[in-house]
Amino acid sequence: MLLRYSSRLAPLRAFLTEALEGALAYDRIAGFFSSSILEVAGEPLERMAPGAQVRVIANSALQPLDVETARAAKAAMYAEWCQTLPEYLPPRLKERLRRLYTFLASGQLQVRVLPDAYFGLIHGKAGVITRADGSRIAFLGSVNESREAWEVNYELLWADDSEDGVRWTSEEFEALWYHSGAINLADAVVRDIERLSRRIVVPSIAEWRETYQAEPAAAAVELPVARQGTGLWAHQKSFVKLAFDLHRHRGARLILADEVGLGKTVQLGLAAKLMVLWGGGNVLVLVPKPLVGQWQDELWDLLALPSAVWTGRTWIDENGVEYPANGVDGLQHCPRKVGIVSAGLITQSDEAAEVLANLHYECVIVDEAHRAGRRNRGASHRNEKADPNNLLRFLQRVAERTRSLLLATATPVQLDPIEAWDLLEALNRGNETVLGSRYSRWLTRPREGLNYVLNWAKPPENLRELWEWVRDPLPPASEAPAFEILRRSLNMNETESWAPPEAFDRLSQPARRHLEWISREFFQNYNPFLRHIVRRTREYLEQTIDPETGEPYLTPVRVRLFGEGEHDALLLPPLLQDAYNTAEEFCQEVASRPGFNSGFLKTLLLRRVGSTIEAGRLTAQRLLEGREQSEEDEEDERPSSLHPLTQRERELLERFLQLLEAARAADPKLQAVTDILCHGVDDTEPWRQYGCIVFSQYYDSAHWIAQHLSQYLPEEEIGLYAGANKSKLFQGGNATHVGRDVLKERVQRGELRILVGTDAASEGLNLQRLGALINVDLPWNPTRLEQRKGRIQRIGQPRPIVFIYNLRYQGSVEDRVHRLLSARLQAIHALFGQLPDTLEDVWIALALRQEERARQIIDATPLQHPFELRYHRVTPVDWESCAAVLEKTSQLEFLRQGWK
């Protein structure tokens, strides 16, 4: 019989409640997957028969890529769930969630979601209920699974208990329920439902500090980064907890040396946020100039952490509001608790460094900290005192005026292990837990200590001599039971960082036996370098099983590299080859200038023509016209002028342009990019199907390639991601200026498959939606290459393999580096996780035909990794079950106060 219901005449909830009374089963085709589905579906369940089964198939906005792997599906579903949650959870809703969790956990209620990519939106709403007597009734109508639909809205519903009507509705449900794209509700969602049922809002920071002992989870569990994708990863939480615990104890002094793509900004930023909420002081973040805006965006978007950026004249907050400043003195009046400053300001302006060095801080963060070092590298071999550069000198000063100092660099050692010691020595200033007191062996005999650590020398066998290395600084009791026994024997508490020399005579016999045990592995497992350098590699996190989830800490993402074969270099047509040779001759001429020492400027034209012929052409034109090069192309504050040109230099540039004009030949790199995107390579599909970013160091190359791709593929939108408001969206050869956020969002939604980017896109940008990358040029700064790769081989990449193609011209500087040094470079990369910045000098030497010099530079790189990877272990941290949540408004009001 067909029954018709209208909410105009009677509440529709009555139908559902009556039909489910004592029911044996309930299958429901619902609307969009959200918390309201679970809320309403859960309420009538208690009226069903014991053991009754309820199945709900819900719609979802997940993309097919989101569910390509089980882990990606869980992450995407959890993120979508979090987006539907209301800001305020009334007691009634919390009670419903508590009951709902019981049903889900017991298995009585099962939920699957089906991405709308398969059938579009599930507008059809229907259900089948098996009554207590075994009969069945089906219903359909406009009623969505929400409180408003069942109790408030005007809705229509038809019920049908005929055999045909029930069978037809049941077949529709089963087709959706067993569809290959349907996935079970993620465990993370179920756990979050239970947590929300217990949720308590902590109203003030003071109460968080006192009543809740500054529990980190309360300030972290509902941050944007924790509620999107896979949330905070185990290794990220482990570092944040380590840093925050140390901060509350005596201050954190750590070097975060994770590989690229493991989320260092999130780790450092969250640690700093917890520190400032706990202590209330100022936070200074020093980063390379190209990263300043990216840091501010990520702190705000991922961590809800407001900050202000110093432009050189004013402070600008996270909303773009400017705060006028009175010259450099304005540096000390940051309008936010967190101030972000270009590290180049420290190296270029003594006045700015002086202002910042005289302030007090809760925490100081320095990104790319390997740029802080000694000018006289190798002085340690001669027992000479290190001559620190400006950035290292600043760190040495500011360390004494901050509670916690966090340094980030994937390569704490560039060419000499003493570089890591230099950073630790800076960390030790104002905190003797790192390398000890001023008389510590670690401070006074750095090379000797490094030789022991690296097994380059045999450690002392005499126990009293060993004691001199162990006692200062004496590792905390948490390091190993032996250190707890040593401390107990000397009545030393955890706040004491070193023991006096004569304490050796006071050691008990058990303590001495433990000291003998320590002697066998102290320098390898408990030395200061290992305690303060936190380094996790992608390989380890991909291969190690998380005991809580039974899955690897990271989903393995392999790289398949193309273009590395000996014959893969692109052949230049004769006239273009002549033009390249002329560019090389021009650089040789510049290098011969008396007293001219800028290796960067000596090779300027070769760098750019090695990117694309078009970039070389525009560079030559600007040089002849006396115009400056684009600031975006270069790092920090490098000089970019070769003027005035000599007559010979002008002649070579003019010849270079004449050859290009005569050639009128297509650039092989443009043809290669087009072929790879449209036809693939070897056994791969066309790379635009995977989503691809095409990288170039130079805006000239990126713009030219984007424009030509758009003309060749008029139906395809091509994004150009660049700095300084230069980003564009191309279609059919026409360009429209757009914000970078627009491009990022379209990539994330899968709407933009081809993105051409300058190195403005190589740092901090999450492009894990894309599965392929083409390097039009190979940056002479090796770190850039790693940063590019890190855009797609990163946390959240759903594909097990990503593709990378490296392009180079045959006979170019890049080709000579590849042919002569690629094997050595691969060995160094395997050792350090990325290439040290100092290897940029290899490219410069080869560009100037100084092959022996290039070999000397690369041979100076250490043949073994200086330090074992002690921090491969990841300490389990459970924040997701924390029901206490620090109120957001009180956090923002506090964090938006200025520096004291």
Is the pLDDT at 872 greater than 90? The verdict is: no
Q: How much is the pLDDT for 128? A: 96
Short-list 29, 14, 48, 261, CA closest to 138: 29
Kindly report the number of other CB atoms within 10 A of residue 573's CB atom. 14
Q: How much is the pLDDT for 318? A: 95
Is the pLDDT at 694 greater than 90? The verdict is: yes
Query: Per residue in 664-692, pLDDT tens?
Result: 778 999 999 999 999 999 999 999 999 99
Is the pLDDT at 105 greater than 60? The verdict is: yes
Q: What is the mean pLDDT of residues 605-620?
A: 88
Alpha helices in 592-629 (DSSP H): 599-602, 604-609, 613-625
Distance CA(15)–CA(170), nearest Å, equals 19
Average pLDDT across the chain, whole number: 84
3-state secondary structure of 828: helix
Short-list 322, 321, 291, CA closest to 762: 291
827/251: higher pLDDT: 251
3-state secondary structure of 202: strand
Contact 261, 113 (CB under 8 A): no
Contact 415, 860 (CB under 8 A): yes
What lies within 8 Å, CB to CB, of 772 at 6+ separation is: 687, 690, 691, 692, 693, 792, 802, 803, 804, 805
Short-list 285, 293, 337, 297, CA closest to 311: 293
% of the chain with per-residue pLDDT over 70: 85
The one-letter amino acid code at 701 reads S
Q: How much is the pLDDT for 830? A: 46
Mean pLDDT lowest for which of 244-253, 522-531, 827-836? 827-836
3-state secondary structure of 44: helix
What lies within 8 Å, CB to CB, of 111 at 6+ separation is: 33, 37, 38, 55, 56, 57, 58, 104, 184, 185
Specify which residues 316 forms β-bridges with: 309, 322
E strands, 654-781, in order: 692-695, 718-721, 728-731, 734-737, 754-757, 772-775
Distance of alpha carbon 3 from the chain centroid: 56
| Number of Cα atoms under 13 Å in the Cβ half of residue 694 | 32
686/381: higher pLDDT: 686
Q: How much is the pLDDT for 780? A: 67
Distance CA(693)–CA(753), nearest Å, equals 8
Query: Per residue in 200-223, pLDDT tens?
Result: 999 999 999 999 999 999 999 999
Short-list 372, 360, 495, 496, CA closest to 426: 372
Q: How confident is the model at residue 423 (pLDDT cuts 50, 70, 90)?
A: very high
Distance CA(833)–CA(826), nearest Å, equals 10
Is the pLDDT at 36 greater than 60? The verdict is: yes
Q: How much is the pLDDT for 850? A: 66
